[in-house]
Amino acid sequence: MIAKDKQILIVTAVEAEKEAILKGLHNTNNIHVIAAGVGPSSAAANTTRAICSSKYDVVISMGIGGGFADVVEVGSIVIANEIIAADLGVETAEGFCRLDELGFGSTLLKVDINLMNKVYQALKTTELIVHIGPILTLSTVTGTSETALKLTNRIKGAAVEAMEGFGVATAAHELNIPFLEIRSISNPVGPRDREAWRMKEAFEGLTKTSTILQEVFN
Ligand SMILES: O=C(O)c1cccc(C(=O)CC[C@H]2O[C@@H](n3cnc4c(=O)[nH]cnc43)[C@H](O)[C@@H]2O)c1
């Protein structure tokens, strides 16, 4: 259990994710959910605004995400151990060069491992399939097998890609607030096939996960 009266901020990209999460929360007033927009910039700006206008003890980036084949399956839940800005860098003749390799800042943020484990253990008591692994933040949704392969070759163990985690985490990190990222997998990363996205299943995963988060944080 986490100490009572902790204030938790959950940041989604869109309203549909927010609604799915609110559906799983009952009789709680210490968990606040905002839809901050799609992509890392909106996520960072709106998370910063929320953190600066109210006191929060934990910030969670949460929503649907794409799962890397053979690592995580559609319908499962993934908790990040690392949040990686996967396209923050420079393209060179030799390949991609990370921004931190050039001496500018960081492209990797580590989550609060104690919190991550608490949430993982709690989710493991349910029928949900739960994984822990690196979650990538990209400004462009991957749409080909080639790009998916390049990412998994470059980032060992990459489990998920989404578009907001690094923005949310950067805001929390800069303001010294522990953060997590949790994704409900709606689609495999790879060739764009929007019809195949399992949105209903992924939103149900968000609802079930938020019910468990309420137990962990109350
Ligand atoms: O298919 C499209 O045309 C399209 C264009 C822009 C955005 C979308 C989205 O559905 C937004 C993605 C939204 O959900 C997360 N997400 C889910 N799956 C993935 C993925 O495979 N790669 C990256 N992000 C993904 C993401 O965090 C956004 O909030 C569709």
pLDDT tens track for 10-60? 999 999 999 999 999 998 899 999 999 999 999 999 999 999 999 999 999
* The pairing of beta strand 77-85 with beta strand 58-67: unpaired
CA 110 to chain centre: 12
Question: Among 163, 182, 198, which residue has the most ligand 1 atoms within 8 Å of its CB, making it the best to mutate?
Answer: 163
Model ipTM value: 0.91
Specify the 3-state DSSP secondary structure of 7.
coil
Q: At what angle do helices 113-124 and 199-216 cross, to 10 degrees?
A: 110
According to the model, what pLDDT value does residue 56 have?
Answer: 98
Q: How many CB atoms lie within 10 A of CB 22?
A: 16
Number of domains in the chain: 1
Residue 51 in tokens: 């953190």
Is 160 within a domain? yes
Is 3 within a domain? no
CB of 66 closer than 6 A to ligand 1?
Answer: yes
Specify the 3-state DSSP secondary structure of 58.
strand
Is 95 within a domain? yes
> Binning pLDDT at 50, 70 and 90, where does residue 4 land?
low
pLDDT per residue over 56-103, tens digit each? Answer: 999 999 999 999 999 999 999 999 999 999 999 999 999 999 999 999
According to the model, what pLDDT value does residue 92 have?
Answer: 94
Protein residue with its CA nearest to atom 2 in ligand 1: 194
Q: How far is the CA of 100 from the centre of ligand 1 (A)?
A: 26
pLDDT per residue over 112-127, tens digit each? Answer: 999 999 999 999 999 9
pLDDT per residue over 151-201, tens digit each? Answer: 999 999 999 999 999 999 999 999 999 999 999 999 999 999 989 899 999
- pLDDT of 205 above 60: yes
State which residues form the domain around 136: 8-216
CA distance 198 to 162: 15
**pTM for the whole thing?**
0.95
Q: How far is the CA of 103 from the centre of ligand 1 (A)?
A: 30
Is 101 within a domain? yes
Is 44 within a domain? yes
Q: How far is the CA of 4 from the centre of ligand 1 (A)?
A: 35
Is 1 within a domain? no
CA distance 43 to 12: 8
Q: What is the CATH number of the domain that holds 27?
A: 3.40.50.1580
CA 118 to chain centre: 16
The answer for 76, left when phi > 0, alpha when psi is -120 to 50, beta otherwise, is beta
Is 124 within a domain? yes
Is 2 within a domain? no
Q: How far is the CA of 15 from the centre of ligand 1 (A)?
A: 14
